[in-house]
Amino acid sequence: MNDEQWKEKLTDEQFEVMRQKGTELPFTGDYWDTKTPGKYRCAGCGAELFDSDTKFNSGTGWPSFAEAKEGAVRFEKDASLGLERTEVVCAQCGGHLGHVFEDGPEMVNGKETAGKRYCINSCALNLEEK
């Protein structure tokens, strides 16, 4: 879709975050502290991205997950803000979701993880409750 089509589909905040690589303010999104079980889907295309079983409280003010669904996301280098980070984008529609860091927990909900912290903007997600 082109920018005009995305603007019709997404809210202003979603467009800024997902199509212009913005970031929502911490502790303001719908999902930063929710514990509701379910599947987190891309707000742009509906692709399944994360499961609530991998969500944890990182204290950062954004939803954090220990892992993404296999093949659901792509990684891109991000050198903005004078930092080297790894951007996380939806593999299906290319929407910016957030970033992934190597400082995640080794266990989430009794399951071993790879120590990743997917720090994701709430507005880039829709929760499909179980």
Known catalytic residues are: 119
Residue 86 DSSP SS3: strand
b/e sequence 11-40, b meaning 16+ C-beta within 10 Å = eebbbbbbbeeeebeeeebebbebeeebbb
The C-alpha atoms of residue 83 and residue 61 are separated, in whole angstroms, by 20
Cα–Cα–Cα angle for 35, 27, 50, rounded to 5 degrees = 45
User: In 3D, which of 48, 30, 38 has the Cα closest to residue 92?
Assistant: 48
